[in-house]
């Protein structure tokens, strides 16, 4: 039986701002653009009382909470706090899987202090976080990731909850489907239409039916409602890049042909990015010549891109600088990095969550 902790900072960006500016304490604030087209990146608990949420348009937020204070993000500070808390996690176990800047799974089954109680570890960690950062965190403790994640939300803010193996069955039975991590708005609507409101309702459905209706997610749900989440805590789960390449049947040197090959790859890359809901800021073109010499050329832009036309355009600019090619190529590749799924890129992405598992 594993011991898994999920730790999640409370209203992270907003709490950091309130910590550093006493005038903001106790007030409804959001971090994020105040402009008409801005989006709320994080809301303080005082703002949440009015219904203000992450990823809400700033316009709407202001409507439902006229006294709302907009604070500009200070991403460097959040990153610094993030590395402070990650350091605390890593002092207990190497098996730390960050989900974003302010939350992570920890597998403490084996830990550096030989501690038996995961609850005690979670309490120590929360105390250390507060001591080091003057910020509060909430913790969920259970025997798998899914339950730990759900548990950390139960007594938020500044609380913790334990779901033991003996409690798990009842807990999942009574769990509302929109509290399930991995079930988004659309899926939860779909489930409701089918008369599925709680974990126990999912339990009644046969595996093949769940799979037919919901694909991979359905299979995942089938297992988690039985307390059977086999997901490992993976320390390096965060994807750094995504790309595709093609080895040519015949070597190519003509500019136009190289551009065409690059355009084809752009289409493939767009599809791969779409299914994973990923965008990036950096494009790298790789060319391998007939003598196996290889060059890479990169360009970083100040927005997240992922559409084929954007990829084609950026790749073309990079390729043009290499034309005419000194010798024929035998391989061409495109890769996107600096992804929006990396914690350091989440500044404007609000509640962007890394899909769990990778649906
Ligand atoms: Mg959080």
Q: Locate the domains of the chain by residue range.
A: 1-168+222-235, 169-221, 241-340
Per-residue CA distances from 54 to 26, 168, 184 (Å): 18, 30, 15
Partners of residue 4 on adjacent β-strands:
107, 142
Whether the CB-CB separation of 18 and 334 falls below 8 Å is answered with no
Q: Report how far ligand 1's centroid is from the alpha carbon of 104 (Å).
A: 10
Q: Which two tokens stand for residue 174?
A: 């009574």
Q: Is the pTM of this model over 0.85?
A: no
Burial class (CB in 10 A: 0-12, 13-18, 19+), 261: buried
211 Cα–ligand 1 center, Å: 31
Give me ligand 1 centre to Cα 42, in Å.
Answer: 9
SS3 call for 182: coil
Residue 290 falls in the annotated catalytic set: no
Q: Which CATH architecture has domain 241-340?
A: 2-Layer Sandwich (3.30)
> Near ion ligand 1, which residues have CB within 5 Å?
8-9, 12, 102
> How far is ligand 1, taken at its centre, from the CA of residue 194, in Å?
31
Predicted pLDDT of residue 48: 96
Bridge partners (DSSP) of residue 40 are: 32
CB 350 within 8 A of CB 32: yes
pLDDT value at position 307? 95
Span 1-168+222-235 CATH architecture: 2-Layer Sandwich (3.30)
Residue 238, pLDDT score: 60
Q: What class is the 169-221 domain?
A: mainly alpha
Looking at 46, 103, 270, 342, which residue is catalytic?
Answer: 103
Per residue of the chain (359 residues), what is the pLDDT tens digit?
A: 899 999 999 999 999 999 999 999 999 999 987 776 788 889 999 999 999 998 888 899 999 999 999 998 898 899 899 999 999 999 999 999 988 889 999 999 999 999 999 999 999 999 999 999 999 999 999 999 999 999 999 999 999 999 999 999 999 999 999 888 778 788 889 889 989 999 999 999 999 998 998 888 888 899 999 988 878 888 865 677 899 999 999 999 999 999 999 999 999 999 999 988 889 999 999 999 998 888 999 999 989 999 999 999 999 999 999 999 999 999 999 999 999 877 666 544 443 333 333 33
Q: Distance (Å, rounded) from C-alpha 145 to C-alpha 106? A: 9
Cα–Cα dist 176/281, whole Å: 37
What pLDDT is recorded for position 236?
62
Q: Which residue has the tokens 């459905």?
A: 205
- Residue 63 exposure: Cα atoms within 13 Å on the Cβ side: 7
User: Which backbone phi and psi does 116 adopt, to 5 degrees?
Assistant: -85, -35
């Amino acid at each position: 039986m594993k011991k898994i902790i999920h730790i999640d900072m409370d209203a992270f960006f907003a709490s950091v701002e309130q910590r550093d500016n006493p005038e903001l304490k106790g007030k409804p604030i959001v971090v994020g653009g105040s402009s008409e087209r801005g989006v709320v990146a994080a809301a303080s608990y005082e703002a949440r009382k009015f219904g203000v949420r992450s990823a809400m348009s700033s316009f709407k937020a202001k409507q439902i909470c006229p006294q709302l204070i907009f604070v500009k993000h200070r991403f460097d500070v959040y990153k610094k706090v993030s590395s402070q808390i990650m350091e605390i996690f890593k002092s207990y176990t190497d098996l730390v899987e960050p989900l974003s800047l302010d939350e992570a799974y920890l597998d403490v089954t084996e830990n550096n202090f030989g501690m038996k109680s995961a609850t005690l570890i979670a309490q120590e960690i929360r105390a250390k976080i507060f001591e080091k950062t003057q910020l509060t965190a909430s913790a969920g403790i259970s025997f798998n990731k899914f339950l730990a994640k759900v548990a950390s939300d139960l007594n938020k803010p500044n609380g913790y909850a334990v779901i033991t193996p003996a409690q798990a069955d009842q807990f999942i039975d009574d769990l509302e489907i929109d509290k399930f991590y991995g079930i988004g708005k659309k899926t939860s609507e779909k489930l409701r239409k089918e008369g599925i409101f709680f974990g126990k309702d999912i339990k009644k459905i046969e595996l093949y039916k769940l799979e037919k209706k919901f694909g991979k997610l359905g299979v995942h749900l089938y297992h988690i409602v039985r307390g059977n989440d086999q997901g490992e805590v993976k320390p390096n789960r965060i994807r750094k890049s995504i790309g595709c390449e093609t080895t040519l049947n015949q070597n190519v040197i003509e500019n136009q042909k190289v551009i065409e090959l690059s355009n084809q790859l752009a289409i493939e890359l767009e599809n791969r990015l779409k299914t994973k809901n990923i965008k990036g800021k950096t494009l790298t073109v790789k060319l391998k010549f007939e003598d196996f010499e290889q060059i890479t050329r990169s360009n970083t832009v100040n927005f997240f891109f992922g559409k084929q036309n954007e990829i084609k355009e950026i790749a073309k600019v990079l390729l043009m600088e290499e034309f005419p090619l000194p010798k024929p190529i035998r391989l061409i590749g495109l890769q996107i990095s600096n992804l929006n799924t990396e914690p350091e890129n989440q500044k404007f992405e609000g509640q962007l969550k890394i899909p769990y598992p990778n649906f």
